[in-house]
Amino acid sequence: MTVSRRTFIVGCSAAIAAMTGGAVRGLAFAQPGDTTRRDILVVVFLRGGCDGLSLVAPVNDPFYKGARGELRVEESGQNAGLLLSNTIPGADFRLHPRATLLQSLYINRSLAIVHACGLRNGTRSHFEAMDYMEGGIPESGVPANGWLARYLNSISASGYLPAVAAGTRVPFSMVGFNGAAALTDPASFSLSWNSWRYRSQLNQALDAFYSGDSPVQQAGRTTLTTIARINERLPRDSQGRVIPYTPEIGVRYPGGRGASLGNALRTVASLIKMDVGLLAATVDYGGWDTHEGQGWIFPELVAGLAEGLYAFYNDLWRYHDRLTVVVMSEFGRRLKSNRSGGTDHGHGNVMLVLGEGIRGGKMYGVWPGLATEQLDNGVDLAITTDYRTVLAEVLIKRGALQTVDQVFPGFRGSPLGLAYSPGETIERPNRVNLPLVIR
């Protein structure tokens, strides 16, 4: 019988808790490895269906102006969109007015935008779309494992913590990779003791209990070793208490509606700096299902996204040469606004890609237009770029993927040219250095 380390945690954590008088928290399940030749991939998933037509708006398109009413981003005035250079033909594309810090990253040539992209499957169900997208093989339904898990398995990802979901659950994209763990705070990489007085004795008891060669005992030893190694990397004061993570000077993660994103990105940043072998991380940012009240909800969500990504990127300025962030959502929103001051489930959307190894300051893709005959089913933005085109290019050029079929079997797509390959000279003409100040 084979017992994976992940299966061990699910089945045996209660037993360890009983022996220790506490609980097992925040576990990682792999050995350290060389990650210097691969980018750390961070996937931010905007759960609920982000309105890409408001995030990156075709402000002068007559069909957009006629369909969106008061929800539209405008060409001038108080709700004017933020200017973008190097956009795709077809419209005057502007960022949402609350995305000022995304504009800064774009001007800095660190942020790329892909428009009219997404999942080609026509479902408008959140759960189906997320499963198809995170599974990565929508033509065959929902597979047994996720695209990110297949990537990590294909490169034999190792490290004390090669993959983490910054939250309370591992997303479907990571299902199938035994080294993935979900956590909300790196300080939770510990055994919770009822009494420090007996810590040494309890450690000895656990070591003895898992000293055999059975699959359960081997998995137990690996888990306990991982807990110990992660704890060694946590900064502590003179009393042995864990010191809370402090971002770089001037960096402030968002609060308010963006607090969940800020907290998750802060967790990922702290793990990256701890050098635990992290290769992939996922972050969920929910609340984008704006069927009503979009006029006041969406701006706050966008501000949280912009502030979160900006803070995260500045916080990890020492890691820019090996960090790539991808932002995606299960689908976009309908072109025409509804009667409740919102938008319903749509199809085509935007993706954002952030990193030193990205040809930023540019928009990619093909704009299909918004005339009725150009829309998907006559109502939604059509998709001209499969979302896997973006992911595949990032995984091959910035990760360590050898062939697309290892992650997206049967998928064929031409790279957009948005990522630099290893060894390519990264060109940053007229680059503006980002200040380490959020506001």
pLDDT beyond 50 at 180: yes
Pairing type for strands 180-183 and 323-329 reads unpaired
Query: Does a structural domain hold residue 39?
Result: yes
Query: Does a structural domain hold residue 424?
Result: no
| Domain shared by 227 and 83, yes or no | no
| Domain shared by 332 and 311, yes or no | yes
Least confident of 59-73, 212-226, 287-301: 212-226
**Residue 231 — very low, low, confident or very high, per pLDDT cuts 50/70/90?**
confident
| Residues in contact with 377: Cβ distance below 8 Å, sequence separation at least 6, in sequence order | 122, 347
Per the listing, tokens 């695209």 go with: 147
Give pTM, 2 decimals: 0.87
Within 210-258, where are the H helices? 215-233
Q: What is the pLDDT of residues 307-360, one digit of tens each?
A: 999 999 999 999 999 999 999 999 999 999 999 999 999 999 999 999 999 999
- The fraction of the chain above a pLDDT of 90, given in percent, is 69
| Domain interval for residue 348 | 34-186+252-406
Tell me the C-alpha distance between 57 and 51, whole Å: 9
| Domain shared by 39 and 24, yes or no | no
pLDDT of residue 435: 54
| Domain shared by 283 and 381, yes or no | yes
| Domain shared by 305 and 354, yes or no | yes
| Domain shared by 15 and 53, yes or no | no
Least confident of 154-158, 235-239, 403-407, 428-432: 428-432
* Other beta carbons less than 10 A from residue 292's beta carbon: 13
| Domain shared by 170 and 299, yes or no | yes
Spell out a b/e string for 305-327, using b for 16 or more CB atoms within 10 Å of the CB, else e.
bbbbbbbbbbbbeebbebbbbbb
Tell me the C-alpha distance between 333 and 294, whole Å: 11
Tell me the C-alpha distance between 41 and 130, whole Å: 19
| Domain shared by 380 and 280, yes or no | yes
Q: What is the mean pLDDT of the chain?
A: 87
- Domain of residue 358, CATH code: 3.40.720
Query: Does a structural domain hold residue 225?
Result: yes
Query: Does a structural domain hold residue 245?
Result: no
Per the listing, tokens 């993660």 go with: 253
Q: What is the pLDDT of residues 387-409, one digit of tens each?
A: 999 999 999 999 999 999 999 99
Q: What is the pLDDT of residues 368-383, one digit of tens each?
A: 999 999 999 999 999 9
Query: Does a structural domain hold residue 429?
Result: no
Query: Does a structural domain hold residue 411?
Result: no
Domains contained in the chain, number: 2
| Domain shared by 271 and 214, yes or no | no
pLDDT beyond 60 at 61: yes
Query: Does a structural domain hold residue 44?
Result: yes
Bigger pLDDT: 308 vs 203: 308
Q: What is the pLDDT of residues 139-161, one digit of tens each?
A: 888 999 999 999 999 999 987 88
Asked if residues 324 and 281 have their Cβ atoms less than 8 Å apart, the reply is: no
Per the listing, tokens 């004795």 go with: 201
Average pLDDT over residues 214-234: 71
| Domain shared by 161 and 112, yes or no | yes
| Residues in contact with 327: Cβ distance below 8 Å, sequence separation at least 6, in sequence order | 44, 46, 305, 309, 351, 352, 353, 354
| Domain shared by 177 and 69, yes or no | yes
pLDDT of residue 314: 98
pLDDT of residue 215: 67
pLDDT beyond 80 at 211: no
Tell me the C-alpha distance between 234 and 228, whole Å: 10
Q: Checking phi first, is residue 302 left (phi over 0); if not, alpha (psi -120 to 50) or beta?
A: alpha
Query: Does a structural domain hold residue 50?
Result: yes
| Domain shared by 125 and 263, yes or no | yes
